[in-house]
Chains A and B, each alone.
Chain A
Amino acid sequence: QKEVEQNSGPLSVPEGAIASLNCTYSDRGSQSFFWYRQYSGKSPELIMSIYSNGDKEDGRFTAQLNKASQYVSLLIRDSQPSDSATYLCAVKGRTRDSNYQLIWGAGTKLIIKP
């Protein structure tokens, strides 16, 4: 089974600072990578997707992909208390039944301290 690894945290970051979240994956053939935000008791919400090496920016969020090193990261600039949530990394990979699925990390809990 292909794996996606994240530090469970919690990661504590002061308000206004940059939060850096990391994710590593085992399937070298993976082509699609996603970051989801999940507030406690709520459903995961897609915030970033990235498909090629390099950086992709969307507002205060930047996703970074390095396929050679098999990691994907999410940077949140000017962190706000409302960014406090669990961030899930998901990678499109081949599962045991040979279908392509999203393989999920367990998530990193981010706490932004005012």
Chain B
Amino acid sequence: DADVTQTPRNRITKTGKRIMLECSQTKGHDRMYWYRQDPGLGLRLIYYSFDVKDINKGEISDGYSVSRQAQAKFSLSLESAIPNQTALYFCATSDIPHNEQFFGPGTRLTVL
């Protein structure tokens, strides 16, 4: 069974729609992350959470929001999707002290 799961795996939506991407983990890690990856580019951090009460913006948080519902669940929302948010989205978890991260399978989001 996968340790980090993401739903949906693929989503096509229209400009202006609200979208939620969900992430669940069974690794027992406190730290969770949301990244986006564009073709040919590296990973860019959107938001991260060190525990249920600690949420932090990453380098590209504009246009996104998150919710940490429990230690195991971390959701990413696009309040009003726009075409340049078309990308591959990854959720990851990590543990201390070294912070090695473990990724979910990703969500391919297309905004028309």
Contact = CB atoms under 8 A, between A and B. Distances in A.
A and B are partners in one complex rather than unrelated chains = yes
B108 to A, nearest CB: 8
Interface residues of B, number: 21
Interface in B4-51: 41-43, 45, 48, 50
B100 A44 contact: no
Interface in A65-93: 88, 90, 92
Contacts of B108: 41
Contact of B88 (A34, A41, A97, A105): A41
Contact of B98 (A32, A41, A44): A32
Contacts of A55: none
Interface in A2-47: 31-32, 34, 41-46
- Kindly state the interface size class of chain A when it binds its partner: 20 to 34
A105 B44 CA distance: 10
A46 B56 CA distance: 24
A62 interface: no
A106 interface: yes
Given A31-B98, A34-B101, 4 more contacts: A41-B106, A43-B104, A43-B106, A92-B99
Interface of A: 31-32, 34, 41-46, 49, 51, 88, 90, 92, 97, 99-102, 104-107
For the complex of A and B, the 9 pairs showing the least CB-CB separation, nearest first, are A106-B42, A43-B103, A32-B98, A104-B43, A92-B99, A43-B106, A104-B42, A44-B103, A43-B105
